[in-house]
Amino acid sequence: MQKFSGFNLFAKALGGHQDWQAQWRSPEPKAAYDVIIIGGGGHGLATAYYLAKEHGIRNVAILEKGWIGGGNTGRNTTIIRSNYLFDESAALYDHAVKLWEGLSQELNYNVMFSQRGVMMLAHTVHDVQSFKRHVHANRLNGVDNEWLTAEQAKEFCPPLNISPNTRYPVVGAALQRRAGVARHDAVAWGYARGADALGVDIIQNCEVTAIRRDASGAVSGVETTRGTIATRKIGVVTAGSTSLLMSMADVRMPLESYPLQALVSEPVKPVFPCVVMSNTIHAYISQSDKGEMVIGAGTDAYVSYSQTGGLHIATHTLDAICELVPMFRRLRMLRNWGGIVDVTPDRSPILGGTPVPGLYVNCGWGTGGFKATPGSGNVFAWHIAKGEPHRINAPFTLDRFRDGLMIDEAAAAAVAH
């Protein structure tokens, strides 16, 4: 694999940057693989990378129906944090944050992870009680989170309006300083480059149309738009399309797929130093390195596979943002888009095996899976390689819907960006 370094940059500059090699190959699919990962988003790519890197399983293909990172990975607002309420969630998401902290070095690719702090605003007495409970629970789990008064919140983020004369006044905030954002497509590209260098085949424009099973019921391969491929292990990592894929193996999933949308403004000079989230009024704001304000909205009220989202959801979010940060009233919005998020009843992900031998699933990240990308891929690769869960993903298998051991981040946070 070519290495990115200051020296290499200088040396290639002398040649006019003409001889950089492609970041990953475009191989033809082989007849058979040890493991097939369906879905070339961040989670699928990370899974393949860790299968090859940590478990020595290199005869792996990632099958992606479009282009890598073209799903939710390339559509999200990139908020990364680990201040979830329950012990199981804190362990999973903080495992991810620890991997984020070394990811650019690990992949030799700048994923632009920026720990600028994520501040979650409280607007009501209920918010205050809930967030303080989060702060205490997080500290017990070794996850940083601190309570700020409204004045301290404004000090941390000066453009914030903390006037009490608003519809939803800011009455305090929970701040995770280690939290932040990363560059979404760089994450996909970095993992793709790393996985490819270890021998993983990344096959784009290859839609899986059926999952094959043998007489015992175990998986034996997939049918795709580029032919049939044999395998004894399949990892389905297809976010909003997971129910469709799993129905190919006759597995019914506890998932609903909703459109979730985001929008960006025209670029402006650096004015917004951190990430601000308001679950109560559904607004999520950060400023990209290009200067655009990156804004996340809530999910639509109805299930759908349309990658757009209702206009009234976006306008509701903008109403809230104009109240929270009045100077943004003068910003023009450049573009908006949607993704399809796969939502579980307890708003926690599903990571692990299924009733079908050889079939594994990684889904249910809903509105908040980007932040988990490295941790999710890391423990999912473990489960596929060893055939049993890692201690971190053990509570997140499908079994919890049978045993009733829900990890109810829905009640805890309402949304989970």
Ligand X SMILES: Cc1cc2nc3c(=O)[nH]c(=O)nc-3n(C[C@H](O)[C@H](O)[C@H](O)COP(=O)(O)OP(=O)(O)OC[C@H]3O[C@@H](n4cnc5c(N)ncnc54)[C@H](O)[C@@H]3O)c2cc1C
Using CB under 6 A as the binding rule, whether residue 141 contacts ligand X is answered as no
Rg (CA), the chain: 21
Cβ-based nearer residue to ligand X, 72 or 317: 72
Q: Taking CB under 6 A as the rule, does residue 47 contact ligand X?
A: no
Question: What is the rounded CA–CA span in Å between residue 368 and residue 387?
Answer: 26
Q: Which amino acid is at 374?
A: P
Hey, how many other C-beta atoms are within 10 angstroms of the C-beta on 194?
A: 25
Q: Measuring CA to CA, how many Å separate 353 from each of 212, 361, 382, 393, 396?
A: 17, 6, 11, 11, 10
Question: Cβ 80 to ligand X, closest distance in Å?
Answer: 6
38 interacts with ligand X by CB under 6 A = yes
Determine, following the binding rule CB under 6 A, whether residue 185 of this chain makes contact with ligand X: no
Instruction: Select 148 or 222, whichever has its Cβ closest to ligand X.
Output: 222
The mark string for 214-253 relative to ligand X (x by CB under 6 A, - otherwise) is: -----------------------xxx-x---x--------
Beta carbon of residue 309, minimum distance to ligand X (angstroms, whole number): 8
Q: Which of 30, 27, 34 is nearest to 219 (CA)?
A: 34
CA distances from 41 to 104, 141, 308, 309, 404 (A): 18, 29, 19, 21, 30
370 binds ligand X (CB under 6 A): yes
Binding residue (CB under 6 A) for ligand X from 160, 341, 398, 407 = 341
Residues in binding contact with ligand X, number by CB under 6 A:
40
Nearer to ligand X, 20 or 67 (CB): 67
Position among 73, 130, 278, 317 found at the interface with ligand X (CB under 6 A): 73
Nearer to ligand X (CB atom), residue 150 or residue 348: 348
H/E segment holding residue 312: helix 311-324
Buried b / exposed e along 17-26 (16+ C-beta atoms within 10 A): eeeeeebbee
Answer yes or no whether residue 256 interacts with ligand X by CB under 6 A: no
Provide φ and ψ at 413, rounded to 5°: -130, -10
Give contact residues for ligand X (rule: CB under 6 A): 38-44, 63-66, 70-73, 75-79, 207-208, 237-239, 241, 245, 260-262, 296, 339, 341, 365, 367-371, 417
